[in-house]
């Protein structure tokens, strides 16, 4: 399930990008053999929200995604999908933190 749909403050309903985010999670779990993401299937909505946010923000510092050897061919696409989802999430989260998303994302791209 998309992070937005797990967030109690989300009021805009379902969007097409939520389907793409869900597809990313399916591919990611399959390529990683579920192990690092087992908490995504058993926790409360708040637990799953926190776990997914932690995954996205942790991978900013630790860029490796724990993909099984035979699925390494998909790693560039998984990184690209992760980065797209992260950027959209940042655009929504940064204003809550009092930061300007335009400036923050421009600095990230430099």
For position 62, what pLDDT does the model report? 67
Token code pair at residue 69: 């050897």
For residue range 4-32, what is the model confidence (pLDDT) as tens digits? 888 888 888 888 888 888 888 888 887 77
Do 32 and 68 touch, CB atoms closer than 8 A?
A: yes
Q: Which of 40-44, 58-62, 89-93 has the highest mean pLDDT?
A: 40-44
Count of alpha carbons within 13 angstroms of residue 9, beta-carbon side: 4
pTM of the model: 0.64
| Residue given tokens 């400036």 in the structure block | 103
Is the pLDDT at 105 greater than 60? The verdict is no
CA–CA gap between residue 53 and residue 93 (Å, rounded): 11
Residues in the chain: 110
Q: Is the pLDDT of residue 78 over 70?
A: yes
């Amino acid at each position: 399930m998309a992070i937005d749909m797990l967030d109690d403050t989300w009021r805009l309903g379902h969007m097409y990008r939520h389907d793409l985010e869900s597809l990313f999670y399916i591919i990611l779990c399959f390529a990683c053999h579920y192990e690092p993401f087992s908490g995504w299937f058993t926790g409360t909505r708040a637990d799953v929200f926190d776990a997914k946010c932690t995954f996205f923000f942790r991978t900013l510092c630790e860029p490796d995604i724990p993909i099984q050897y035979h699925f390494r061919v998909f790693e560039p696409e998984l990184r690209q999908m992760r980065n797209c989802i992260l950027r959209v999430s940042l655009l929504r989260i940064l204003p809550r933190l009092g930061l300007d998303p335009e400036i923050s994302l421009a600095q990230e791209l430099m």
